[in-house]
Chain A
Amino acid sequence: MPIDMDSVKDQEVVLSDNAVTRLSRFWEEGPLVLVFLRHYG
């Protein structure tokens, strides 16, 4: 099943400083490299 970008783009995300934003904000000005990390430690 393909990734549903229509629902992903409006997903609210919490940043490390507790700010909340929409994920799509990050590709409004240019391409985005979105890196999912493994666990910390």
Chain B
Amino acid sequence: MRQNEEQFQQQAAGVVLVGLGTPEETAAFKEQFHVPFPMIADPEKRLFKAFQLKQATPKTLLSVGMAMKGLSALARGHRIGIPKGDVRQLPGVFIIDMDGRIRFSHFAKDPADHPPADALLRFLQSNRDMIPLKDRVDPQS
């Protein structure tokens, strides 16, 4: 998502990441991966629980599909480190409008299941009522 920072700005959308580590671990992650967005540290999973994000079953974590996704990530240059935080916790993505309503939700089915940034940008572009009037750009102009 960090490569798409400018496109999210063009949609007047903020991006915030929520991690399972302590503030110190989260700061280290942010620095290591050059994350340009604010990051919330949620080691007690208060927000994860409030947004009703589930935990993976052992069967999911040990499935052939997860192994294939892991190998694919390694092939793309991702590194494997010592996990920090609950490895069973599943991720998710929500788009919240200025009235505090959830307009888009994605509850991951496994730890590597996340919607591509392009899909999130398309959702924002097709729901322009969420964008403040002052930030709306006429596509014809």
Most buried by B among A23, A26, A37: A37
Considering only CB atoms and an 8 Å cut-off, how many residues of chain A contact the other chain? 32
Considering only CB atoms and an 8 Å cut-off, how many residues of chain B contact the other chain? 63
Instruction: Tally A-B pairs: CB < 8 A.
Output: 155
Kindly identify which residue among A4, A17, A37 contacts B18, using a CB–CB cutoff of 8 Å.
A37
Kindly identify which residue among B12, B13, B41, B89 contacts A38, using a CB–CB cutoff of 8 Å.
B89
| C-alpha gap A26/B95 in the complex (Å) | 11
Kindly identify which residue among A8, A24, A35, A40 contacts B20, using a CB–CB cutoff of 8 Å.
A40
| C-alpha gap A7/B100 in the complex (Å) | 11
Interface set, chain B 10-30, CB cutoff 8 A to A: 11-21, 23, 25-27, 29-30
Contact (Cβ within 8 A) A17 B42? no
Contacts of B26 in A (CB 8 A): 16
Instruction: Beyond A16-B30, A36-B17, list 8 extra A-B contacts (CB 8 Å).
Output: A9-B100, A31-B11, A32-B14, A32-B16, A33-B94, A33-B124, A34-B16, A40-B20
Instruction: Give the 8 A-B CB pairs with smallest separation, nearest first.
Output: A41-B81, A39-B85, A30-B12, A16-B26, A16-B27, A40-B84, A41-B83, A38-B111
State the B residues within 8 Å of A (CB): 1, 8, 11-21, 23, 25-27, 29-30, 38-42, 46-48, 50-53, 80-87, 89-98, 100-103, 108, 111-112, 114, 120, 124, 130-132, 135
